[in-house]
Every structure is written in C-alpha cells, then in structure tokens.
Amino acid sequence: MGTDQGKTGLTPQAGRIGDATALRGRMEDRLRAAFVEEERAGLLLSAKVRSAALSVIFIWQLFWATVDGWAQVYILGLILTLLLVGLAQLLFVWMRRSPDWLNHLFIAFDCAFVGFVLVTPNPFIDAEVHVQGVVNSGNFAVFFLFLMQSTFTYRTRLVLWCGACIVATWTAVLLYVLQLPDVYSEINTELTVEAVVRAYHDPHFVLFSEWLFQIIVTVLVTAGLALLVRRARQVAMARATMERARANLARYFPPSMVDLLEYRDRDFGQMRRQNVAVLFADIRDFTAMAEAMPPEQVMHLLRRFHSLMEAQVFDHGGTLEKYIGDAMLASFGVPSEGPNDAARALSCSRAMLQAIAAWNAERRAAGEVPLTLGIGLNYGPAVQGDIGTARSMSYAVIGDTVNTSSRLQGLARDLGRPLIASDTLVARVREELGEHATDVLDGLEPLGEQSLKGRTRSIAIWGLPAADTQHPSTDRVEPLRRPARG
C-alpha cells in the first residue's frame, strides 16, 4: 500500500494558529464543563458535611444541653432550621436544579440567619444577656465554616460572595449593637489604652478594633481562598493542556523522546526541511486474507501487528508517522537529525522482520496463516510539520523521499524480497557507522538500478534475500537507538 505524500500540502501558518486558538477554546469549554461537574460534586459534599455536622450538634443539644424546657426547644429549632436549609440545598443540587442565584441566596441566608441568632437572646432564658458582648467574643469564627463550605465548590465568585455576606452581616451586627442603650466603644468615647483594657470587661462596651480586625481577617482569608480556587482552576487547565500535548507526542515518538520534547522551548510542529530516513512497511496479500476473515478477527490481527511494529520503531528511537490499514510509515531523524538515523532505520527494519518471524511461529502453532512483511527504506530531504486542521491534526514528514520509500516497498513485493533499501540509505549507513557498517548491512545485496512507478529516473537499490528472513531466528537485532540529547 502507498500514498502520494508529496502531493499533500501543509496548512498555512496563519490558519494553523487560528485552528490552535479554536482548539484551545474548545478545550477550555470542555474543562469548564468538567468544572461544572466538580462544582456540583463540591456542593453536594459541602451540603452533606454541613448536614452531618448539624445533625451531630442537634443530637448533642437534645441529650446534653445546659438548658431545658422551651429554652432547649428554641435552640433545637435554630439548629433544625439550619439543618433543613442545608438539606434543601442538598436536594436542589442532587436534582440538578441549583442555579447560581439560588446558591448565592443560600449563602446570604446562612450568614444573615447566624448574625440574627448571635444578637437575639434566647427569649426563654431569664438570665440577663448582653448581646453587645457578641462582638468581643469568639462567636464570629462560626462564619468561617460557611467560607470553607463555599471553597468546596471551586467557584471563585461564590467564595467572594460568601466573604462579602460575612462582612455585610458582621457590619450590620455592629451597627445594631452600637445603637443599643448605654452601649459605647472607643470610637465614640475618648479612652486611653488602660481605660480600654478596663472597659473590655464592661458588658456595655464594644471593642471596635476587635470588630475591625475580624473584618480585615475575613477580607484577607476570602481573597486568599478565592485566589487559591482560581489558581487551582488555572493549574488544572494548564495540566490538561500539557497532558493533551504529551498524549499527542506519545502517538508519534518513543517515551524518551516525549520527555525531551515536552520541556523544549522549540516548536517542533513548525514546518522545516531536513534529511530523514523513512521506513514503509506493509503486510503482503492482506486484502485477500481479510476477505476470508470475520471483521473482528481482522481488527485483532491489525492491533497485534501495529503493537509489534510500534515497539520496534520506538525501541530504535524512530517516529511513528501513521498507520494506513495494514501498512505503516515511520521516520528516523524526526523531529531533529541524529548521527545514525539511516542505520537505526535499517536496524529497525531487521527487528521488524524478526518480530514477524516470531509471531509467525505462534500463528503456525495455532493453525493460522503466516504473514509476509514487505519493507521499503530510503534516506533524503523531506519537510516535516503539523498538517490538518484543529479538528484533525497530525505530524507528518512529506516529500519525494517518503514517496520513494513507499514505491520501494511495492518493488520489494514485485521482486519477492522482504526488504528493499535505496542506495542513498546504504551509502548514508556507511557514512554514519564507518567500519562498523558491515554488521548492519550484512545480507544486503546490490540489485542495480530499477525504475519506480511515478518516477522518471531509475534508482539504485539493495535487497535482503527472501530465504529465512521471516522465520524464527535465535539472533536478535539489538536496537540502534538515537543518542540521548541534553
């Protein structure tokens, strides 16, 4: 099988940038949709935790309260009100009927209700209660439970809204307390530091600086939590983008190359021209074989074939360009040239033939038809880069070098050879390995010049004999990998 790679045009740079922008936009939309589910899960979690905590407090107040009678009933009623509000919120979220305005309303009600409770004495307790003391007490900390609850939603606006509701509620509490009879503070009475310390124990004294400190802490904590939520969303977005880029790289490059490319500043997808070694492999007579097989069996065979061939390409530091049914295209020297690209391509092709030989032994033992692999190898200049659109983009190596490798694979079938390599590739192997080239070139024999379909000029080629090349062998071709780069 073969395709005319040289006739495929590259996407213009401007179009590619536009496609990438559109792709990022769709990715952001998908992430936002994913966050909606996470926000819903957070709302469910916070409502459940709130309901569980209030249930425990309700039971504790029911059996171990310090008051009894109607005073206890009043306290239980307050707790039950908050519990029912939490259960209502849980129900709305669970039914997916919880719009933003409703969540904002729940938060506003919680803060206002707690503020009302703090400044409203229990009407069934006879003891004198100085509500202004609530500003000086530690009861304000209960609001931070609502702030924590809003953080679970991963919604920055909801966190900021909760902080604003706390500030508004606590401001209203202060204004209410200050207008009570005989109540005073350091803002409306000139007091020395010593007098403020003495007045702190006066039930009619409100420490304004304490209220101001609580407001400042609330603002700072709210801003910090909002930034934390925003940062978490940004990190998730960046991580998703990185993982998608890494997944795309892993489709073509071996793991070691993926690690290297991931941290490079260079845009390897940019169009550029350089020398590469190209390998084109194909299962012979696959169409006739597939006609006699169920589709499921054909798919299973192709998956096993692709898996075996991919392993050899990556073991030898190659780049997997594409699968074309029962054929595959791989390149060596992509995305950057190496000192032994041609040698690695030839070494990989031998490893492929041995892998097919080992698989054929299994197939014969299972009563299945053995497979015959044909490989074409070439070396020369080509253009590499991203092609396609944002919906369907791939990394490709394009040019006459690629087309020629496809034609050589077809010639290998016509000549009954498992492997045909161009004289250009063989010469490059000798140049790369010097006196050690004999080991990699062992068995290749010159076949003279041959005409190829679609080419006006003939090409000198080398071929591997058919005998025993696709049968089990005890000698394994050791991978010739690309040297590590810093």
Does 323 fall in a domain? yes
Q: Which residue has the higher pLDDT, 330 or 236?
A: 330
What whole-number distance in Å separates Cα of residue 368 and Cα of residue 359? Answer: 11
The whole-number pLDDT of residue 9 equals 35
Of the chain, the end-to-end C-alpha distance in Å amounts to 38
Question: What pLDDT band is residue 474 in, cutting at 50, 70 and 90?
Answer: very low
The whole-number pLDDT of residue 181 equals 86
Tokens 């944002």 label which residue? Answer: 390
The whole-number pLDDT of residue 65 equals 74
Most confident of 117-121, 153-157, 205-209, 340-344: 340-344
Does 13 fall in a domain? no
**Counting beta carbons within 10 angstroms of the beta carbon of residue 302, is it exposed (0 to 12), middle (13 to 18) or buried (19 or more)?**
middle
Give the range among 72-81, 84-93, 222-231, 269-278 with minimum mean pLDDT.
269-278
The whole-number pLDDT of residue 142 equals 82
At which of 248, 276, 301 does a domain end? Answer: 248
What whole-number distance in Å separates Cα of residue 227 and Cα of residue 33? Answer: 20
Does 253 fall in a domain? no
Residues 238 and 281 in one domain: no
Tens of pLDDT, residues 414-460: 899 999 999 999 999 999 999 888 888 999 999 999 988 877 788 99
Domain range holding 182? 25-248
Give yes or no for residue 95 having a pLDDT over 80: yes
At which of 217, 248, 279 does a domain end? Answer: 248
Question: What pLDDT band is residue 468 in, cutting at 50, 70 and 90?
Answer: very low
What is the arithmetic mean of pLDDT over 133-149?
Answer: 80
Q: Which residues pair with 274 in a beta bridge?
A: 382
The whole-number pLDDT of residue 203 equals 78
The whole-number pLDDT of residue 250 equals 58
| Region of residue 266 (left: phi > 0; alpha: psi -120 to 50; beta: else) | beta
| Region of residue 182 (left: phi > 0; alpha: psi -120 to 50; beta: else) | left
Give yes or no for residue 126 having a pLDDT over 70: yes
Contact present, 146 and 109 (Cβ < 8 Å): no
What is the arithmetic mean of pLDDT over 170-183?
Answer: 88
What whole-number distance in Å separates Cα of residue 404 and Cα of residue 453? Answer: 9
Does 277 fall in a domain? yes
Tokens 């909801």 label which residue? Answer: 158
Residues 241 and 389 in one domain: no
Question: What pLDDT band is residue 66 in, cutting at 50, 70 and 90?
Answer: confident
What whole-number distance in Å separates Cα of residue 483 and Cα of residue 486? Answer: 10
Tens of pLDDT, residues 252-263: 555 545 554 555
Does 384 fall in a domain? yes
Tens of pLDDT, residues 37-63: 777 787 788 788 888 888 888 898 888
DSSP per residue, 465-483 = -STTTTS--SPPPPP-PPP
Distance of CA 88 to the CA centre of its chain: 35
Most confident of 65-79, 158-172, 392-406, 465-479: 158-172
> Tokens at residue 437, please?
């080239």
Residues 73 and 184 in one domain: yes
Q: Residue 112, CB half-sphere, CA atoms under 13 Å: how many? A: 7
The whole-number pLDDT of residue 39 equals 74
Question: What pLDDT band is residue 479 in, cutting at 50, 70 and 90?
Answer: low
Residues 133 and 244 in one domain: yes
Angle between helices 69-94 and 13-64 (to 10 degrees): 160
Residues 456 and 351 in one domain: yes
Contact present, 405 and 399 (Cβ < 8 Å): no
Residues 111 and 139 in one domain: yes
Q: Name the pairing type of β-strands 327-332 and 319-324.
A: antiparallel
Residues 280 and 409 in one domain: yes
Residues 225 and 274 in one domain: no
Question: What pLDDT band is residue 355 in, cutting at 50, 70 and 90?
Answer: very high
What percent of the chain stands above pLDDT 70? 78
DSSP per residue, 100-152 = HHHHHHHHHHHHHHHHHHHHS--TT--S---TTHHHHSGGGGGHHHHHHHHHT
Helix (H, G, I), strand (E, B) or coil at 275: strand
**Closest C-alpha among 102, 395, 93 to residue 250:** 395
Residues 362 and 452 in one domain: yes
Does 10 fall in a domain? no
Q: Is the pTM of this model over 0.75?
A: no
Residues 234 and 276 in one domain: no
What whole-number distance in Å separates Cα of residue 308 and Cα of residue 322? Answer: 14
What is the arithmetic mean of pLDDT over 135-163?
Answer: 85
Helix and strand numbers (H, E) in the chain are 15, 10
Q: Residue 218, CB half-sphere, CA atoms under 13 Å: how many? A: 26
Does 175 fall in a domain? yes
- Distances in Å between the alpha carbon of 209 and those of 141, 156, 435? 16, 29, 87
Tokens 């969540």 label which residue? Answer: 103
Residues 446 and 408 in one domain: yes
At which of 248, 276, 307 does a domain end? Answer: 248
Give yes or no for residue 15 having a pLDDT over 90: no
> Tokens at residue 388, please?
């396609």
Specify the DSSP element, H or E, that contains 375: strand 373-388
How many other CB atoms sit within 10 Å of the CB of residue 199? 17
- The per-residue pLDDT of the chain, averaged, comes to 80
Helix (H, G, I), strand (E, B) or coil at 156: helix
CATH number at residue 404: 3.30.70.1230
The whole-number pLDDT of residue 6 equals 41
Question: What pLDDT band is residue 384 in, cutting at 50, 70 and 90?
Answer: confident
Does 83 fall in a domain? yes
What percent of the chain stands above pLDDT 90? 33
State the amino acid at position 182 in one-letter form: D
- What is the number of structural domains in the chain? 2
Question: What pLDDT band is residue 388 in, cutting at 50, 70 and 90?
Answer: low
Residues 64 and 131 in one domain: yes
Q: What are phi and psi of 207, to 5 degrees?
A: -85, 100
Tens of pLDDT, residues 179-208: 888 888 877 667 677 777 777 777 788 888
